Amino acid sequence: MSKKENKNESGSAESAGECTAGDTKDDKGLGLGVIFFILAFVICFLSGTLLFPKLLYSKKEQPFNFNHELHVGETGDCESCHAIREDGSFNGIPKLAKCQECHTETPLGETEDEAVFTEMYVAKEKEVPWYVYSRQPDCVFFSHAAHTKTEGMDCVTCHGPIGTSTNLKPYEENRITGYSREIWGQNIWGIKKHSWDRMKMDDCAECHKKETGHQGYCFQCHK
């Protein structure tokens, strides 16, 4: 203890007078270092949060807007368009034939979206090439019947409020994997606020563990 004090004393005595300027310079250096560190951190943080997602995902517009709220109001339910078939498989997005129950070559209204739909698809008898937000990689097996029919789960749990939306968001494709952004989620850090924010393997397994006590075997979800 005393030795150290002595050393300090002798040290400061030696450099006394000539080193005062140097001391303040060192302090300045440290201050600048902290500022540069914070600056670099902010730049990295912003590019990671704002720039990286822009580079990683390419945005694709849907062929035209589809208004769920309006159509659910017309049909009264989801099942008239998204139903589980007799054999237990899911019909997914309805085919053009379903739309033609109401839409003919004469538009029902005057919106531009309906004009595009009528001219490009109804009149040409062409299926609409929708991008599927929740599309999983080909190796994944998913069954709607097991979840919505057997377990009575709500569509919102996994898809969010698409069924009540009036506007379609752009589809975002991961440039590296080719998968939809819905898999990794909107938050680049992988933070999840709602059950539908992300649908990675861990998210499926998390719910399976909670509901059944085990996360399941590989072959349950993989073909």
Site for ligand HEC in 179-208 (CB under 6 A): 183, 195, 199-201, 203-205, 207-208
Residue 219: what are its φ and ψ, rounded to 5°?
A: -70, -10
Rule CB under 6 A: which of 100-129 touch ligand HEC? 101-103, 108-109, 111, 113-114, 117, 128
Q: Within the chain, what is the greatest distance between any pair of CA atoms?
A: 98
Region from 9-17, 27-35, 46-54, 130-138 binding ligand HEC, contact rule CB under 6 A: 130-138
Residue 80 lies near ligand HEC (rule: CB under 6 A): yes
Q: How far apart are CA 201 and CA 132, in angstroms?
A: 18
Q: Which of 10, 75, 104, 187 binds ligand HEC (CB under 6 A)?
A: 75
Residue 88 lies near ligand HEC (rule: CB under 6 A): no
Q: How far apart are CA 15 and CA 17, in angstroms?
A: 6
Region from 13-21, 25-33, 52-60, 71-79 binding ligand HEC, contact rule CB under 6 A: 71-79
Q: Which of 19, 56, 143, 186 binds ligand HEC (CB under 6 A)?
A: 143
Region from 19-27, 33-41, 50-58, 145-153 binding ligand HEC, contact rule CB under 6 A: 145-153
CB of 54 to ligand HEC, least distance (A): 22
- The smaller minimum CB distance to ligand HEC, of residues 43 and 116, is found at 116
3-state DSSP assignment of residue 135: coil
Based on the number of CB atoms within 10 Å of its own CB, is 67 exposed (0-12), middle (13-18) or buried (19 or more)?
Answer: middle
Q: Are 120 and 63 in contact (CB under 8 A)?
A: yes
Nearest of 162, 144, 164, 161 to residue 153 by alpha carbon: 144
Other CB atoms within 10 A of residue 166 CB: 10
- The smaller minimum CB distance to ligand HEC, of residues 29 and 92, is found at 92
- The smaller minimum CB distance to ligand HEC, of residues 21 and 139, is found at 139
Residue 142 lies near ligand HEC (rule: CB under 6 A): yes
Q: How far apart are CA 180 and CA 31, in angstroms?
A: 45
